Amino acid sequence: MDDRQLLKIRKNLGFIGNSPALEQILRTIEQVAATNIIVLINGESGTGKELVANAIHALSSRNNGPFVVVNAGAIPEGIMDSELFGHEKGSFTGAVGQRKGYFELAEGGTIFLDEIGEMPLETQVRLLRVLENREILRVGGSTSKSIDVRIIAATNRDLLGEVREGRFREDLYYRLNAVNIHVPSLRERKQDIPLLINHFAESFCEQNRIEYAGFSEDAIDLMVHYDWPGNIRELKNFVESIIVMERGMHIGSSAVQNRLPAPSHFRFDPQLPIHVQRSSEELEREFLYRALFEIKHEIAQLREAVLGKYLMPNRRLMPGFSVDKNNIEQYPANIEKIEDETEDVFPTMQQMEQELIYRALEKTGGNKRKAAILLEISERTLYRKIKEYDLPF
Ligand SMILES: Nc1ncnc2c1ncn2[C@@H]1O[C@H](COP(=O)(O)OP(=O)(O)OP(=O)(O)O)[C@@H](O)[C@H]1O
Ligand SMILES: [Mg+2]
């Protein structure tokens, strides 16, 4: 593939960057796209695995067919088989009608099995059979149906490690790993960072009609040196939020420094929409309002903590809100007063949950596995909550 072709793929498919690692990935994409070979993509969260899968589909002869994305981490285990392979009427309680699974919906196209490491072992057995026979059997069905679907899988786990631990079937691993594409973390391809910053800044400003004055060189330098545990997704969120915060002004190193590495000291409530096509006065007012909201919100949380309502057994406290129950005198004596003033912003359980999840993801740079550990919930539950609250991770 010559450079012109590479450039074309890059542009058409939205790949930004000129690191050798990215070029190698683009070459592999081009090579495998023409075939039906199974591809396993691995890489940390936010590195671009879905973008790679989508590119393979887009460059293949199946590109007129569907591209079906299935996140195995987000589907409750109990209905995984029926979601993937469909079911016949009455095959289990609640199966009122027959239903096509994702494999059937992907007929003539590509199915992208994301977070494959999350797939329960019983489903792995069924999947292996599908890969071997190229046919599916609906749950409760008696005759199988042949399918024409290209399979791409992805994981941010060390699948071989999962095989060793007995959580992933070895035979399935080798079936899936026909071609492996490893998408490196952003810190392993730092030369892509300035290009990505520019790209995200420009497209965000264009979409939101913001006049954009750019980043200073030392601001970019700081961002190049940061580790980006949440990879490209974290970088994108960071660039967009700093542009909003700086209202399109030239962004210097101090603004970046203040928000790196843990930009948690001041942030928007994710429930409040950000309207950026406003006059500067309106924006100013909105920012002030948000800051006040945040402070009031935190007072309410502090009050909750002081009153001990946060102190659930075996539960980690929100960062910055750990409270020593035995030493409650250190807090203002006029707690009742705070309570009165914050009555109108008393958060609901749902808001608190959303807040906690947001914070955990922010703290781990969007790494869902680490966030789930921090929150002491399963990764599956975390995926479900992210979707439910529409969190930007
Ligand atoms: N090379 C790139 N150029 C431009 N944008 C990119 C690039 N790689 C990834 N992105 C963007 O970064 C974001 C994250 O990418 P993607 O969803 O593909 O990551 P992922 O590896 O699937 O993450 P996760 O494991 O969290 O699902 C997306 O908005 C995607 O468009
Ligand atoms: Mg993904």
Report the pLDDT value the prediction gives residue 293, as an integer from 0 to 100.
Answer: 61
d(CA 301, CA 276): 29
Distance in Å, CA 99 to ligand 1 centroid: 31
Q: Which of 51, 186, 235 to mutate to test the pocket of ligand 1 (most atoms within 8 A of CB)?
A: 51
Q: Tell me, using a 6 A CB cutoff, whether residue 50 lines ligand 1.
A: yes
β-pair partners for 181: 41
Per-residue pLDDT, averaged over 15-30, amounts to 93
Q: 153 C-alpha vs ligand 2 centroid, how far in Å? A: 10
For residue 52, the CA-to-ligand 1 centroid distance in Å is 8
Q: Which ligand is nearest to the CA of 383?
A: 1
For ligand 1, atom 10: residue with the closest CA: 48
Which ligand is nearest to the Cα of residue 41, counting in written order?
1
Sheet holding 67-71, edge to edge: 67-71, 110-114, 150-155, 39-42, 179-182
What is the reported pLDDT for 155?
96
> What's the 331 CA to ligand 2 centre distance in angstroms?
44
- Residue 312 predicted with pLDDT over 70: no
Ligand number nearest to the C-alpha of 234: 1
Do residues 183 and 43 make contact, with C-beta atoms less than 8 angstroms apart?
yes
Q: Is 15 in the pocket of ligand 1 (CB under 6 A)?
A: yes
Q: Positive or negative, the Cα torsion across 371, 375, 380, 383?
A: negative
389 CB burial (10 A radius; 0-12, 13-18, 19+): middle
The pLDDT of residue 248: 74
Of 16-20, 31-35, 71-75, 290-294, the one with minimum mean pLDDT is 290-294
What number is the average pLDDT over the span 28-55?
A: 95
Pick the residue whose CA is nearest to atom 15 on ligand 1: 48
pLDDT cut 70: percent of the chain above it: 78
Distance CA(178)–CA(35), nearest Å, equals 12
Q: Give the confidence band of 86 by pLDDT, cuts at 50, 70, 90.
A: very high
Relative to the CA of 236, which ligand 1 atom is closest? 12
Entry pTM: 0.71
CA 53 to ligand 1: nearest atom: 18
Mean pLDDT check: name the lowest of 155-159, 172-176, 270-274, 292-296. 270-274
Instruction: Give the pairing of strands 179-182 and 39-42.
Output: parallel
Is the Cβ atom of 391 under 6 angstroms away from ligand 1? no
Residue 112: CB within 6 Å of ligand 1? no
The per-residue b/e assignment along 88-108, b for 16 or more CB within 10 angstroms, e otherwise, is beebeeebeeebebbbbebee
Decide which of 195 and 355 is more confident: 195
Query: What is the rounded average pLDDT of the residues 153-158?
Result: 94
Tokens of residue 171, six digits: 């035979």
Is the C-beta atom of 386 inside 6 A of ligand 1?
no
Mutate which of 12, 115, 200, 233 for ligand 1 pocket (most atoms within 8 A of beta carbon): 233
Q: What is the pLDDT of residue 330?
A: 40
296 vs 83: which has the higher pLDDT: 83
Tell me the pLDDT of the chain averaged across its residues. 82
Of all atoms in ligand 1, which is nearest to the CA of residue 192? Answer: 1
Q: Any idea which of 154-163, 164-173, 190-199, 271-280 has the lowest mean pLDDT? A: 271-280
Q: Which pLDDT tens digit goes with each residue over 246-303?
A: 887 899 999 999 888 654 333 334 444 444 444 555 555 656 666 666 676 677 667 6
Which of these ranges, 89-93, 236-240, 303-307, has the smallest mean pLDDT? 303-307
Q: How far is the CA of 14 from the centre of ligand 1 (A)?
A: 10
Encode pLDDT of 192-251 as tens digits: 999 999 999 999 999 988 888 899 999 999 999 999 999 999 999 999 999 988 887 899
**Average pLDDT score over residue span 97-105:** 90
Q: Does 230 contact ligand 1 (Cβ within 6 A)?
A: no
Closest-lying ligand 1 atom to the alpha carbon of residue 45: 25
Q: Is 359 in the pocket of ligand 1 (CB under 6 A)?
A: no
* Other CB atoms within 10 Å distance of the CB of residue 364: 21
Please count the other Cβ atoms lying within 10 Å of the Cβ belonging to residue 301: 18
If you measure from the C-alpha of residue 48 to the centroid of ligand 2, how many angstroms do you get, rounded to a whole number?
A: 7
Q: Is the shortest distance between the CB of 48 and ligand 1 below 6 Å?
A: yes
Report the pLDDT value the prediction gives residue 338, as an integer from 0 to 100. Answer: 43
User: Using a 6 Å cutoff on CB, does residue 14 contact ligand 1?
Assistant: yes
Predicted local confidence at residue 209, as pLDDT: 87
Domains of the chain and CATH, by start: 3-184 (3.40.50.300), 185-263 (1.10.8.60)
Structural contact between residues 114 and 154, judged by C-beta atoms closer than 8 angstroms = yes
Establish whether residue 49 lines the binding site of ligand 1, counting it when its CB lies within 6 angstroms of any ligand atom.
Answer: yes
Question: Which residues share a beta bridge with 112?
Answer: 69, 152
